[in-house]
C-alpha cells in the first residue's frame, strides 16, 4: 500500500477522548487510511514526517470567531491555522455578511468588533457577489480557503436586510408579518445551505458604528419574544444551534435563555426537541466573583431537565489591552459610552477636559454594584507603552498617588489627553483564578471556545486558546495535581465541539479527513502567554495583537496537505484550496482503506 504522507513515531490522539497511543499514520487522498502499531513502509511515499517526541492531534475547532470580513480578503486565515485550528465557525454574536451590504456591515462590525469601519465596507463591497445563503457558501468555496469553515446566520444581519438598519434599531418598531416571514425564510434557506444555526444578541453594550444609527445597540437586541419565537421554532425543529448573548444587565434573560433550551417532551408537554443553545459566556468575572458558580449550576439544572444547553468559555485569563480610551468594555457604563460615541479626537479631548464629564466618570467608576464586566479598578491596570517612559509598568492608580493624590480616573484621563492612543495599557477582567478554570474545563455544560479571532485587533483575541488549555492540563500533571486527562482536554477542543454542532471535523481516526497538527509538548511553556504584533495587509497594515507559538506547533495539515511548517505557510497555502465549507449533518466522503483493518483497540470513524 502506498501513501501520500506517512507520520511516524508520534503520540496519536484521535479526538474521541480515547487514550493516546504511539502509532504511525498513513494518509492518502486527504484521509487517514492506515493507523498502525508497526512502522509503515515508506516505499513510494513522497513525504515521511518524523513525529518522534511529538503529539499528533486532530485539528482544533474554534466555535466563536469574527473572521466574516477578513476571510473575504485573506481566506488562508493564518493566525488561527498556525496554532492548530483547522475548523472555524463564522457568524457569531448576531453578525454575518450573508445579506447586508458593505455600509451596513461596516456599521454592524466596526465598533462592536473593533475592526475599522472603512475596511469592513471595502472588503464586503469588493467581494460581495451573493444575495442568498446558498450563494454565500458557493462564494466562500470559490476562495483558496486555508482552514475549513462552518457558519451561523446572524440575526442582526437578517433583521437589517429585512427592515433597514434604522427601523431595525428602533424600540417602537416591530417587524411586519411579511418581514417576520422573510426572516424565517432567510433562516430556513441558511439551514438548507448547511449553516449550523443562528446567532442572536441581547447584550446592550454592543454598539453600532457609522453616523446614521451610531451608538444604538445591535438590531438583534430590539427583537421581542414573538419575533424570536418563530426563529427558535425553526432551529428546534431542524436540531440546529442557537448561539445567544444575554443581556448581562438583566440576569433573568440568562435564565430565560437556559430554560428555553428544554424540550417540552422531556416534561410531558409534547414531543418538542431541546433547542441546542450555546450562551455567551461562562467567565469568572473579577467584578462578580460568585456568578461563575451560578452559571455552572444553571447549566447542570436545565440539562437534567431535558435541555441541550452549553456555555461558551475562554479557558485562559481574559486579558484586554487598550490604546487610550478605545476599549469595548467601556460601553457598559454611561461616561465610557459617551466618549466612544465621539469619532473625532478633538471632540473626545474636549469631553475629557470637561469637569462635569469627569465627575460622571468618577461616579461610574466608584459604582461597584450591579451587573458589570469591568471591575473598575485603575490600580489593576498596567501601563505597557507610553511616550512618557516614567509611567510604564505602573498602574493609573499609582500614577494618581504620585501626582499628589489624584483620583485614578483623573490620572487616567490626564494621560489619555496627553498621549492619546500612544498610551497602551492592559488589565485582566476575568478567568484570573486557575482553580476556577480547572472546574470550568471539567464541566459538561461548558464548551471550550470563545477566541474572538479576527476581531478586537488591538486589544483582545485569543488565537492560541486551545494550546493554553493543554498547557494548563500538562502543568497540573507535571506538578502531581492532575485535574483532567490530556485526552479529555484534546476531545473538548476537537471532537466534542464538532459533534455538538454536527460538522465533520475534530477527529483523527481511520477513514477521517486528515486535518491535524503536530505539537511539541516540551514547548507548552510560558511563551504561550506572550503577545506579538503583526500588520494586517488587507487593513492597510494595521498592527494586530497576535500569538506566535511556532515551536509549539511545528506542522499543520488540512485535508492531508501540509499548510504550515516550522513557522511559515507552505506553497500549498494560497495555491490550492485546502479547506471547505462544512455543512451541518454532512459527512465528507471517506477513503476506504485497502489495507487490512487495524486492531479493535484503534478507534475508527463511523
Do 80 and 145 fall within a single domain?
Answer: yes
DSSP class of 376: -
Do 476 and 514 fall within a single domain?
Answer: no
54 domain-assigned: yes
How many residues in total does the chain contain? 606
Mean pLDDT on 521-527:
97
> pLDDT band at residue 253, thresholds of 50, 70 and 90?
confident
Do 361 and 465 fall within a single domain?
Answer: no
> pLDDT band at residue 204, thresholds of 50, 70 and 90?
confident
585 domain-assigned: no
> pLDDT band at residue 269, thresholds of 50, 70 and 90?
very low
590 domain-assigned: no
Do 43 and 133 fall within a single domain?
Answer: no
Task: Convert the pLDDT of each residue in 85-102 to its tens digit.
Answer: 999 999 999 999 999 999
Do 273 and 387 fall within a single domain?
Answer: no
What pLDDT score was predicted for residue 372? Answer: 85
Percent of the chain surpassing pLDDT 70 = 96
Mean pLDDT on 394-417:
97
DSSP class of 591: P
Task: Convert the pLDDT of each residue in 27-41 to its tens digit.
Answer: 999 999 999 999 999
Which CATH number goes with the domain that contains 436?
3.20.20.140
pLDDT at 600 over 60: no
DSSP class of 521: G
Cell numbers for 65: 470567531
State how beta strands 276-279 and 568-569 pair: unpaired
Task: Convert the pLDDT of each residue in 323-332 to its tens digit.
Answer: 999 988 899 9
Taking phi first (over 0 means left), then psi (-120 to 50 degrees means alpha), and beta for anything else, what does residue 532 get? beta
Do 304 and 336 fall within a single domain?
Answer: no
* Selected residue with higher pLDDT from 146 and 369: 146
Measured CA to CA in angstroms, residue 259 lies from 200, 249, 448 at distances of: 16, 18, 22
Mean pLDDT on 430-446:
96
What pLDDT score was predicted for residue 15? Answer: 98
Helix (H) or strand (E) holding 58: strand 55-58
Within its chain, how far is the Cα of 479 from the centroid? Answer: 30
Number of helical H runs and strand E runs in the chain: 21, 22
539 domain-assigned: no
> pLDDT band at residue 434, thresholds of 50, 70 and 90?
very high
What pLDDT score was predicted for residue 266? Answer: 52
How many Å apart are CA 267 and CA 213, to the nearest integer?
44
pLDDT at 427 over 80: yes
Q: Domain containing 20: what range? A: 5-60+506-523+549-575
What pLDDT score was predicted for residue 555? Answer: 98
> pLDDT band at residue 270, thresholds of 50, 70 and 90?
very low
205 domain-assigned: yes
What pLDDT score was predicted for residue 399? Answer: 97
Do 175 and 198 fall within a single domain?
Answer: yes
pLDDT at 176 over 60: yes
How is 282-344 classified by DSSP, letter by letter?
---BTTSTTHHHHHHHHHHHHHHTT-EEEEEE--S-EEEEEETTB-GGGGGSHHHHHHHH--S
Do 36 and 106 fall within a single domain?
Answer: no
Exposed, middle or buried by CB within 10 Å (0-12, 13-18, 19+), for 346? Answer: exposed
What pLDDT score was predicted for residue 265? Answer: 60
Mean pLDDT on 512-529:
97
Do 402 and 455 fall within a single domain?
Answer: no
Last residue of a domain, one of 392, 426, 460: 426
Nearest 5°: the CA angle 379, 383, 386 is: 145
333 domain-assigned: yes
pLDDT at 373 over 70: yes
Torsion angle of C-alpha atoms 475, 481, 483, 488, degrees rounded to 10: 60
Task: Convert the pLDDT of each residue in 286-339 to its tens digit.
Answer: 999 999 999 999 999 999 999 999 999 999 999 999 999 998 889 999 999 999
pLDDT at 239 over 70: yes
Cα–Cα nearest to 452, from 582, 358, 319: 319
What pLDDT score was predicted for residue 12? Answer: 98
Mean pLDDT on 350-364:
97
Do 93 and 141 fall within a single domain?
Answer: yes
600 domain-assigned: no
Task: Convert the pLDDT of each residue in 58-70 to its tens digit.
Answer: 999 999 999 999 9
Looking at the structure of the chain, the number of domains it has is 3
541 domain-assigned: no
How is 152-202 classified by DSSP, letter by letter?
EEEHHHHHHHHH-HHHHT-TT----HHHHHHHHHHHHHHHHTT--EEE---
What pLDDT score was predicted for residue 589? Answer: 54
pLDDT at 460 over 50: yes
> pLDDT band at residue 186, thresholds of 50, 70 and 90?
very high
Do 169 and 40 fall within a single domain?
Answer: no
What pLDDT score was predicted for residue 362? Answer: 97
Do 207 and 69 fall within a single domain?
Answer: yes
Which CATH number goes with the domain that contains 38?
2.30.40.10
| Mean pLDDT, the chain, whole residue set | 93
pLDDT at 595 over 90: no
Last residue of a domain, one of 411, 426, 441: 426
Per residue in 43-75, is it b (16+ CB within 10 Å) or e — as a string? eebeeebebeebbbbbbbbbbbbbbbbbbbbbb
Mean pLDDT on 403-414:
97
Amino acid at each position: 500500500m502506498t501513501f501520500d504522507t506517512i507520520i511516524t513515531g508520534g503520540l496519536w490522539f484521535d479526538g474521541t477522548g480515547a487514550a493516546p497511543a504511539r502509532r504511525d499514520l498513513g494518509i492518502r487522498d486527504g484521509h487517514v487510511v492506515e493507523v498502525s502499531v508497526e512502522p509503515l513502509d515508506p516505499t513510494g511515499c513522497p513525504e515521511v514526517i518524523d513525529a518522534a517526541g511529538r503529539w499528533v492531534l486532530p485539528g482544533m475547532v474554534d466555535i466563536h470567531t469574527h473572521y466574516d470580513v477578513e476571510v473575504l480578503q485573506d481566506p488562508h486565515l493564518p493566525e488561527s491555522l498556525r496554532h492548530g485550528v483547522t475548523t472555524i465557525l463564522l457568524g457569531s454574536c448576531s453578525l454575518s455578511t450573508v445579506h447586508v451590504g458593505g455600509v451596513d456591515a461596516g456599521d454592524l462590525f466596526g465598533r462592536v468588533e473593533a475592526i475599522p469601519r472603512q475596511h469592513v465596507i471595502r472588503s464586503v463591497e469588493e467581494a460581495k457577489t451573493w444575495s442568498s445563503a446558498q450563494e454565500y457558501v458557493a462564494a466562500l468555496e470559490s476562495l483558496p480557503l486555508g482552514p475549513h469553515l462552518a457558519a451561523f446566520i446572524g440575526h442582526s444581519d437578517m433583521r437589517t436586510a429585512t427592515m433597514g438598519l434604522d427601523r431595525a434599531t428602533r424600540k417602537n418598531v416591530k417587524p411586519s408579518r411579511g418581514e417576520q416571514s422573510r426572516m424565517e425564510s432567510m433562516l430556513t434557506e441558511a439551514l438548507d445551505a448547511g449553516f449550523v444555526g443562528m446567532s442572536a444578541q441581547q447584550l446592550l453594550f454592543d454598539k453600532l458604528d457609522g453616523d446614521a444609527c451610531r451608538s444604538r445597540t445591535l438590531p438583534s437586541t430590539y427583537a421581542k419574544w414573538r419575533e424570536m419565537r418563530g426563529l427558535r421554532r425553526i432551529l428546534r425543529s431542524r436540531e440546529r444551534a442557537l448561539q445567544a448573548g444575554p443581556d448581562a444587565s438583566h440576569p433573568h434573560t440568562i435564565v430565560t435563555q437556559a430554560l428555553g433550551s428544554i424540550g417540552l417532551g422531556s416534561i410531558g408537554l409534547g414531543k418538542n426537541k431541546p433547542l441546542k443553545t450555546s450562551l455567551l459566556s461562562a467567565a469568572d468575572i473579577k467584578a462578580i466573583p460568585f456568578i461563575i458558580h451560578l452559571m455552572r449550576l444553571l447549566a447542570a439544572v436545565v440539562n437534567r431537565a431535558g435541555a441541550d444547553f452549553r456555555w461558551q468559555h475562554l479557558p485562559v485569563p481574559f486579558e484586554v489591552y487598550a490604546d487610550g480610551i478605545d476599549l469595548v468594555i467601556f460601553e457598559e457604563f454611561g461616561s465610557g459610552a459617551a466618549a466612544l460615541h465621539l469619532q473625532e479626537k478633538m471632540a473626545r479631548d474636549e469631553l475629557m477636559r470637561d469637569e462635569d464629564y469627569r465627575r460622571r466618570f468618577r461616579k461610574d467608576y466608584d459604582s461597584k454594584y450591579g451587573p458589570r464586566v469591568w471591575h473598575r479598578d485603575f490600580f489593576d491596570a498596567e501601563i505597557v507603552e507610553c511616550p512618557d517612559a516614567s509611567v510604564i509598568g505602573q498602574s493609573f492608580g499609582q500614577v494618581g498617588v504620585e501626582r499628589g493624590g489624584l483620583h485614578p480616573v483623573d490620572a487616567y484621563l490626564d494621560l489619555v489627553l496627553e498621549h492619546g492612543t500612544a498610551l497602551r495599557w492592559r488589565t485582566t477582567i476575568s478567568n484570573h483564578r486557575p482553580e476556577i478554570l480547572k472546574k470550568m474545563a471539567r464541566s459538561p455544560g461548558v464548551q471550550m471556545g470563545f477566541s474572538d479571532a479576527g476581531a478586537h485587533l488591538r486589544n483582545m483575541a485569543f488565537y492560541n486558546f486551545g494550546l493554553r488549555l493543554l498547557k494548563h492540563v500538562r502543568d497540573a500533571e507535571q506538578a502531581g495535581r492532575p485535574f483532567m486527562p490530556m485526552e479529555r482536554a484534546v476531545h473538548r477542543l476537537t471532537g466534542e465541539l464538532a459533534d455538538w454542532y454536527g460538522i465533520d471535523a475534530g477527529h483523527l481516526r481511520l477513514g477521517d479527513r486528515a486535518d491535524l497538527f503536530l505539537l511539541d509538548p516540551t514547548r507548552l511553556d510560558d511563551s504561550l502567554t506572550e503577545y506579538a504584533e503583526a500588520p494586517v495587509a488587507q487593513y492597510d497594515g494595521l498592527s494586530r495583537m497576535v500569538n506566535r507559538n511556532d515551536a509549539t506547533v511545528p506542522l499543520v495539515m488540512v485535508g492531508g496537505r501540509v499548510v504550515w511548517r516550522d513557522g511559515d505557510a507552505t506553497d500549498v497555502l494560497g495555491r490550492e484550496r485546502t479547506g471547505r465549507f462544512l455543512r451541518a449533518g454532512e459527512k465528507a466522503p471517506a477513503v476506504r482503506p485497502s489495507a487490512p483493518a487495524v486492531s479493535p483497540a484503534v478507534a475508527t470513524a463511523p
